[in-house]
Structure 1
Amino acid sequence: MTTSPSADALDGIRVLDLTQVMAGPYCTMLLADLGADVIKIEPPGSGDQVRRSWDAPLPGRDSPAFHALNRNKRSVTLDLRSDAGLADFRRLAAGADVVVENFRPGVAARLGVDYEAVRRIRADVVYASISGFGQYGPYAGRPGYDLIAQGMAGAVSVTGDPGGMPVKCGLPVGDLGAGMLCAVAILGAHTHRLRTGEGQYLETSLYEAVLAMSVWESTELFASGRAPQRLGSAHRMSAPYQVVRTADGYVTVAANNERLWHRLCAALGLGHLTDDERFATNTARMEHRAELIALLEGRLAAESTDECVTRLLDAGVPAGPILDYEQILEHDPHARARGMVEEYDHPVEGRRRVLGFPVKLGRTPARVRRHPPLLGEHNEELLGDA
């Protein structure tokens, strides 16, 4: 139940954003959506690398990717390698509650914008670093890319069909995961500061974000001593819980306990399978997963995805279609009802769409307050009174 909105959740919190590309900008966008005043500090002339990452038929120079990651922020351009740029940064840092950077380890210190430098200006600052592999450890100096992190943190080894080529996750889970985890940690550190007056340094990495998501995979290894393998869409702990082919496409079926297994069989007229020793228990169904899915697909070969979904849902069995992003973002009523497509006005691009905020706060709802900034759009506004 929602009530009348009050001030934004992070109203009055100022964040200096020294990040580029995805993980850092996603972190600071989450904070900005919640009401923080995020000041994006960019190199003069080029700005964030993502501003020019795609060739797209837009009126302005900034790419759709930049728009997707930088709403609700203000932009200033500073040459941090110059004395003047560094002086402006220090003036901004004096009024900042949070600083976020995603340089390769060591770069922030060389530039004079690292935690130790900032805390001399603002003792209670919350300072966050995001990198590929963390600030220490054998891999700390390696380049930080989502693909590399996925491969070295295990995700690629368990993604794809059994016996097939390893495949990365379709979504950049390392980048986005690191951004989300960093935002959570920043809010934790901010809460600690409210209680104690103490700031602190925190850091995370793409590598750790991917590894932290390996909950079932690590469980399988620790329990069995065997490295988890690729299972396609199947689940490590139960069956049937995967994508199944229908007459015109695919359906997801989640019969992951005995009650749902019996409901599934009854709904599809396959009640005899509940007495089959191969499928009598979850362990048995996992051991004979290929045979089980072949039987289910044989039954569903004459039924459309929509018919199958309706049948299973009516029987109380969790199921759903496989939708592409056009179907979801252009036509799906649930995505619209949940506010997952937002619109805003941009001074160059006109009316634009972007994904909405995924958490609904009853009293302090996240919202799109500002368009993604033009490069240096707020130089005069911010540097004049910094």
Structure 2
Amino acid sequence: MLDNIEADFPEHTPRPAQAPKALQGIRVVDFSHFIAGPFATMILADMGAEVIKIEAPGRGDDLRRYPPVHPGLNHGAPFVWTNRNKQSVALDLKSPEGVAIARELIATADVVVENFSTGVMARFGLDYEACRKIRPEIIYCSVSAYGREGRFSDRLGFDPIAQVESGFVSMNGYADREGVRALSPVMDISTAMMACNAILGALVARERSGHGQAVEISLFDNAVLMTGYATMQHLFSGANPQRQGNTSPDTCPSGVFQAQDCSFYINCGNDKIFQRLVSQVIDRADLASADIYATGPDRIRRREELFAILGDAFAQKPWSHWQARMRVAGVPCGQVRTVGEAIRSPEARERGLVTRIPHDRLGWVPNVNLPIRYSRTPIVDPVAAPAVGQHTENVLRELLGYDDARLARLAEAGAFGADAARPPRQDVEV
């Protein structure tokens, strides 16, 4: 596990030492778990916010147990992927002492993020109304399945459920079989991005007005948005999208073709791209000038015959030949890759998408960078995801001014969990 990391991926290149951070001075208290909430707060952390992740003592975020779990970390790859640049504080929110500490942390914060089931934060006394009394200018972001109000607010939801209920699955796959979910948690990721955008907007609004506010993002609401313009097409036509496999219902020729050595995808999004494809790439100027292929609808009606012509041509040469010609001709194309091939590809290496970062136990762990590039406030240098409660003592000492005696009393009262005599000290910088 991680055997070839030094050979496969470069060491992370540090940001300029004196460069400012986009969210310098912003503190986030993060009660979220799984993906949608934590990924949103990780983006904020990458932008320079201080993110304090509140976890249950011992077990922590349930995502820690998603495989593969590295024995040297006691958490798995999905948790590493979504929790870098955070400090972990372990608090038992079922104890009055744990909740009291959480309230003290909130009093120092700019943002609170939570994605518990509806009603849980209110039972803890940590809902928006309670938090705004602690800190009136707080920005309080709730990520829920179906919203915090209304008839469906009690429903639980996960990414695949949002995919099927939004109509997203009905659009994907092949016409002769049932729709297929995306294996990537696309609804969680896009919900996280939406939550991050909403929080940033609320921070700008607070800067102008001085007022905080509640922010809510629903997984289901976002999933409906993620069906794209198919929703508006349905409203115009009354028809539901039909599964097209790897072809496009709107453009032609767009789909997967086979070179001598591998599969690749081309996307002819307009007439000019098609004309460049047939005249400059496969040397068939006659197709470019043929009236029967003049427009997108014309080509869609003759998709099978056009795909057969292109398929015969592409099968004659390797991908390297076609890629070079299509790049010169300005035809969008790409090799069909596995995940492993994609992260080791020349494009990924050129962009520095996957690097390795130091880890105190393993030496190195992999890191998948955000696609954001700032010219003045570069993304912060990544620090690996924390162990459960790794920063509890440091945060309470340095942020809240707790001394040994107070920490001991709180540990005895169960604020850090029944099995914690006192929170372990970890002098790890974030």
TM over 0.5: yes
In structure 1, what is the equivalent of residue 108 of structure 2?
95
- Residue in structure 2 matching 1:283, options 279, 283, 297: 297
- Residue in structure 2 matching 1:133, options 146, 157, 165: 146
* Counterpart-to-counterpart distance in 2, 1:60 and 1:265: 53
* Counterpart-to-counterpart distance in 1, 2:173 and 2:324: 28
In structure 2, what is the equivalent of residue 273 of structure 1?
287
* Letter aligned with residue 366 of structure 2: R
Q: CA deviation at 1:304?
A: 1.9
* Counterpart-to-counterpart distance in 2, 1:27 and 1:101: 11
1:256 aligns with 2:276: no
SS in 2 for 1:242: strand
* Letter aligned with residue 324 of structure 1: T
1:326 aligns with 2:326: no
Q: Do 2:271 and 2:294's aligned partners in 1 also have CA atoms closer than 8 Å?
A: no
- Residue in structure 1 matching 2:127, options 96, 103, 114: 114
In structure 2, what is the equivalent of residue 317 of structure 1?
331
Aligned residues: 384
* 1:327-379 deviations in Å (ceiling 9; x for gaps): 2223x232122121132212223211110121100011113343211111111
* Counterpart-to-counterpart distance in 1, 2:290 and 2:325: 23
Q: CA deviation at 1:117?
A: 1.0
In structure 2, what is the equivalent of residue 154 of structure 1?
167
* 1:68-120 deviations in Å (ceiling 9; x for gaps): 11110000011111100010000000001000001111211122111111111
Report the TM-score when normalising by structure 2: 0.85
* 1:158-186 deviations in Å (ceiling 9; x for gaps): 11122222101232111001000000000
- Residue in structure 1 matching 2:33, options 20, 23, 28: 20
- Residue in structure 2 matching 1:296, options 307, 310, 314: 310
SS in 2 for 1:99: strand
* Counterpart-to-counterpart distance in 2, 1:80 and 1:289: 60
In structure 1, what is the equivalent of residue 413 of structure 2?
none
* Letter aligned with residue 230 of structure 1: R
* Counterpart-to-counterpart distance in 2, 1:299 and 1:336: 31
Q: CA deviation at 1:249?
A: 2.2
* Structure 2 alignment gaps of length 5 or more: 1-14, 401-430
Q: Do 2:170 and 2:178's aligned partners in 1 also have CA atoms closer than 8 Å?
A: no
* Counterpart-to-counterpart distance in 1, 2:300 and 2:156: 39
In structure 2, what is the equivalent of residue 210 of structure 1?
223
Q: CA deviation at 1:134?
A: 1.9
1:358 aligns with 2:351: no
Q: CA deviation at 1:7?
A: 1.5
* Counterpart-to-counterpart distance in 1, 2:292 and 2:270: 16
Q: Do 1:16 and 1:93's aligned partners in 2 also have CA atoms closer than 8 Å?
A: yes
Structural RMSD (CA): 1.8
* Counterpart-to-counterpart distance in 2, 1:8 and 1:50: 28
Q: Do 1:216 and 1:236's aligned partners in 2 also have CA atoms closer than 8 Å?
A: no
* Counterpart-to-counterpart distance in 1, 2:232 and 2:301: 18
* Structure 1 alignment gaps of length 5 or more: none
* Letter aligned with residue 284 of structure 2: L
* Counterpart-to-counterpart distance in 2, 1:102 and 1:278: 54
Q: Which moved more, 1:139-148 or 1:25-34?
A: 139-148
* Counterpart-to-counterpart distance in 2, 1:215 and 1:37: 34
- Residue in structure 1 matching 2:75, options 58, 62, 65: 62
Q: 1:16 to 1:298 in 2, by over 3 A?
A: same
1:178 aligns with 2:191: yes
In structure 2, what is the equivalent of residue 7 of structure 1?
20
SS in 2 for 1:207: helix
Q: Percent identity?
A: 37
Q: Do 2:187 and 2:226's aligned partners in 1 also have CA atoms closer than 8 Å?
A: no
* Letter aligned with residue 268 of structure 2: A
1:240 aligns with 2:241: no
Q: CA deviation at 1:233?
A: 2.1
Q: Which moved more, 1:272-281 or 1:73-82?
A: 272-281
1:79 aligns with 2:92: yes
In structure 1, what is the equivalent of residue 360 of structure 2?
347
Report the TM-score when normalising by structure 1: 0.94
Q: CA deviation at 1:133?
A: 1.9
In structure 2, what is the equivalent of residue 367 of structure 1?
380
